[in-house]
């Protein structure tokens, strides 16, 4: 989906300034919140973020950025085509490795067999891989708009907590 489409009604998925999303700022803040809820002492500066915005576009006014946003298309289209040719899809993911205390946000190729690949375009997905479990636990829920994001994340975490407690 094009970023401009994601910003327009009825979707309204992207921030009014899409650089917040494309630069990983919004996602990295959510990752920090989730990691802190898991008891980690993570700071935003500890998250390795793949930023898609070239320096020359970062300081532009929003409207000027939107007019030049098409310049990002070739890179995105290339990544998507590469993933699709390998039987995968591209998702912008955040990963928190709580054992090694590493945190990343960026594009990843996801196999069509992975539960993440079945998420809808606006869903939040949390996957946990507890030690000793044969398979990870994946929670998928609505994620567009502030109420849905907060409610989806918190209720999903409580469900995961309940599953882990047995």
Structural domain boundaries of the chain?
A: 3-113, 119-166
What pTM was computed for the model? 0.75
What is the C-alpha to C-alpha distance for residues 160 and 154, in angstroms, rounded to an integer?
Answer: 10
* Local structure of residue 43 (DSSP, 8 states): -
Catalytic option among 29, 30, 95, 159: 30
What is the C-alpha to C-alpha distance for residues 94 and 105, in angstroms, rounded to an integer?
Answer: 4
The structure tokens listed for 96 are 């928190």
Ramachandran class of 154: left when φ > 0, alpha when ψ lies in -120 to 50, beta otherwise:
alpha
What is the C-alpha to C-alpha distance for residues 5 and 55, in angstroms, rounded to an integer?
Answer: 23
Is 82 one of the annotated active-site residues of the chain? no
Look at the domain 3-113 and name its fold.
Dihydrodipicolinate Reductase; domain 2 (3.30.360)
Taking only the tens of pLDDT, the chain with its 166 residues reads 455 555 554 455 567 788 888 888 888 998 898 888 888 899 999 999 998 889 999 999 999 998 998 888 888 889 989 999 999 998 888 888 888 889 999 999 999 998 888 887 777 788 877 777 888 888 787 766 555 555 666 666 666 666 666 5
């Amino acid at each position: 989906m094009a970023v401009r489409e994601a910003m327009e009604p009825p979707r309204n998925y992207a921030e009014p300034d899409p650089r917040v999303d494309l630069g990983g700022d919004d996602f990295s803040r959510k990752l920090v919140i989730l990691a802190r809820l898991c008891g980690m002492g993570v700071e935003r500066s500890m998250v390795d973020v793949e930023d898609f915005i070239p320096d020359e576009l970062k300081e532009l006014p929003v409207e000027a950025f939107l007019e030049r946003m098409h310049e990002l298309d070739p890179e995105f289209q290339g990544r998507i085509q590469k993933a699709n040719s390998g039987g995968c899809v591209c998702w912008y993911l955040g990963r928190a490795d709580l054992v090694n205390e590493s945190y990343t946000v960026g594009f990843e190729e996801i196999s069509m067999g992975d539960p993440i690949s079945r998420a809808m375009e606006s869903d939040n997905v949390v996957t946990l891989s507890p030690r000793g479990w044969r398979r990870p636990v994946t929670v998928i829920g609505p994620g567009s708009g502030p109420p849905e994001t907060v409610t989806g994340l918190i209720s999903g975490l409580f469900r995961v907590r309940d599953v882990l407690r047995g």
